[in-house]
Homo-oligomer: A and B are copies of this chain.
């Protein structure tokens, strides 16, 4: 089964995007980094981010090394009886690729912030461009590395199972980067707010606050590197899930779907296996064009520009993917051509659903819409009521995107069965280059604003930076909704592919084994969220103590005569985030394996299903509640309901502080958890099904089966 030559589209797109990323990096670096004070601050941030990444990557190195050895000795399903070196090697490459992309993106992020601040002195457009290019480096690096990795590995080994190893690598890095970054950023943010803002009445980003730099570092490691590795992870996982399904159906010889069953030829199968990669290649080209258009638009409205880029990328993706569908149709059967077009349809539906999801979460978190406004008004009744209000709207906001995902899933399934669902996930993530770019734009302008403040660039420039910051926040709200929806469809596809690979014909909730699996699955996102939020709370308490200590021991910090000890606060956030990662990361790998061993593979499948559904509820709820609290506070700070310094404002700060770990730590980390657990199930499936153990039905599962 030769690999169709059109796969080269993805490889070329990947290479172009890496080249462009390097070019954008050059464009950013040649900009003016601003005055001495700004460079000093940016230097602190860069130093802090690098320290964190170094420590993090060192620990990751050990973790990856251990898992590499474990994987080596797993049953080799592509070449039975031999060492599982192909998958283990791909795992190493996947880990390294994710680390590389994260490093590239963050390295530019910490350079772009001060340059964007300086560019703001020339106007909105100039500031926008620098931040946007900085974000684009992350966006393009993520997609480029992922596509090059996936296509080369598939080209060499011609087995989706080996690509699965690559995906698992990306995933285990994402778990650390996303959760760790999330804990880091909120430890610093919450700590800085609790002492600096609340006790000493310092403004946001005040250089006298010892945690200010840690807070800015957190934006980079949490929101740039963390979010990047998260989407890298989902992106690769969606491709792998679809490839594995295509390969599995190729073996059976049919793809079943309500619309029509399709008999697969070997030629058709090899086309379907690479379709996800090719579509993603096309999506990358669409993203590049979108980026080009945004760059040349010269709009004074940054928020609009970002959205326009998304629309353009979507439109181009749909057109270009139709073109490659025609090319892919060459040499395959008529029925298969029909299926190919339906799959093109599902990818378009997925992308459309992603955009709708993004806008739903935007609605629930925008300060000019009812939910956020009501939350702001609830602040009039005090701290408790603002919490209750945000909590309720957060839960309410789960319903529309749930219906959106259900619709996308149902229509895709109708068109092309579970392979269609997997391709909807691929479609949703096809323009991830644009999404990550828009997302990384946010923390860069957030940092730029802080640097403009500390570099004393004046009110005019800060207002410009504020405008960019606000556009960045909206973009972030949209991409967050997008990311959750995409991860959700991806893990559904992974679950279907796991079931297909493990030969699970039925996952029957009336079987007690399966019900137990689903029960545990529904509980795990709650446990995971609890652990992450407790981690932030514990670390933030340490941070609070440290900030108070610095202020008390050296009064000159508060007068501005001596700089605070930034290194110490960064150190607390770094060490804390790593320590608190231990239990969640162990759980995310051992619990699925444990469920499989005790209750069997069907129960493990139901475990994944339960975790996916409940994880969706928790992820959307926490992200949107957090976003809404944040914007309610901002709306009050804009002078509404009395504005800054009032009791209403104080209550809204409580909402924002509670929302911080919701929206930036626990909520988005659930995506990664789900992907890691799903991939763990697939990777360790071979072990579970080994005849000597015969875990297929589970140790306890056998006891609970009805004769």
Interface residues of A (CB under 8 A from B): 190, 194, 198, 256-258, 261, 378, 381-385, 387-389, 391-396, 398-399, 402, 405-406, 409-410, 413-414, 417, 421, 492, 496, 499, 504-510, 512, 514-516, 518-520, 522-523, 526-527, 529-531, 533-534, 536-537, 540-541, 544, 605-606, 609-610, 613-614, 616-617, 621, 653-655, 657-658, 661, 700, 703-707
Residue in chain B with minimal CB distance to A384: B657
B507–A499 touching, CB < 8 Å: no
**Given the complex, which residues of B lie within 8 Å of A506, measured CB to CB?**
506, 508, 510
Asked whether A526 and B621 contact (CB < 8 A) given A509-B514, A609-B518, A704-B410, the answer is: yes
Asked whether A706 and B256 contact (CB < 8 A) given A544-B381, A621-B526, the answer is: yes
Residue in chain B with minimal CB distance to A380: B541
User: Of residues A381, A514, A653, which shows the largest number of chain B Cβ atoms within 10 Å of its Cβ?
Assistant: A381
B198–A378 touching, CB < 8 Å: no
Closest 3 CB pairs of A and B: A384-B657, A395-B530, A507-B509
**Given the complex, which residues of B lie within 8 Å of A190, measured CB to CB?**
384-385
30 A-B contacts (beta carbon < 8 Å): A194-B382, A194-B384, A256-B706, A256-B707, A257-B706, A381-B540, A381-B541, A381-B544, A382-B654, A384-B655, A384-B658, A385-B537, A391-B533, A393-B530, A395-B533, A396-B530, A396-B534, A402-B523, A410-B512, A413-B704, A414-B703, A417-B706, A496-B510, A499-B510, A507-B508, A508-B508, A509-B609, A515-B609, A522-B613, A614-B617
A258–B707 touching, CB < 8 Å: yes
A188 → chain B, closest Cβ, in Å?
Answer: 15
* Bound CA–CA A614/B519 (angstroms): 8
* Bound CA–CA A613/B190 (angstroms): 33
A518–B509 touching, CB < 8 Å: yes
A43 → chain B, closest Cβ, in Å?
Answer: 31
Asked whether A198 and B509 contact (CB < 8 A) given A388-B661, A395-B529, A409-B516, the answer is: no
* Bound CA–CA A534/B387 (angstroms): 11
* Bound CA–CA A421/B512 (angstroms): 10
A392–B707 touching, CB < 8 Å: no
A519 is contacted by which of B402, B520, B541, B605 (Cβ under 8 Å)?
A: B402
User: Of residues A392, A410, A496, which shows the largest number of chain B Cβ atoms within 10 Å of its Cβ?
Assistant: A392
A621 → chain B, closest Cβ, in Å?
Answer: 7
A654–B704 touching, CB < 8 Å: no
A654–B383 touching, CB < 8 Å: yes
* Bound CA–CA A405/B519 (angstroms): 10
A533–B613 touching, CB < 8 Å: no
* Bound CA–CA A378/B544 (angstroms): 12
A414 → chain B, closest Cβ, in Å?
Answer: 6
**Given A384-B655, A392-B533, 19 new contacts (CB under 8 A):** A194-B385, A258-B703, A382-B654, A384-B658, A385-B537, A387-B387, A391-B658, A392-B531, A393-B534, A394-B530, A399-B523, A399-B526, A492-B515, A507-B508, A509-B509, A509-B514, A522-B614, A522-B617, A654-B654
A704 is contacted by which of B414, B510, B705 (Cβ under 8 Å)?
A: B414
A300 → chain B, closest Cβ, in Å?
Answer: 37
Asked whether A541 and B385 contact (CB < 8 A) given A504-B510, A526-B617, A609-B515, the answer is: yes
Asked whether A410 and B700 contact (CB < 8 A) given A387-B387, A393-B530, the answer is: yes
Residue in chain B with minimal CB distance to A513: B410
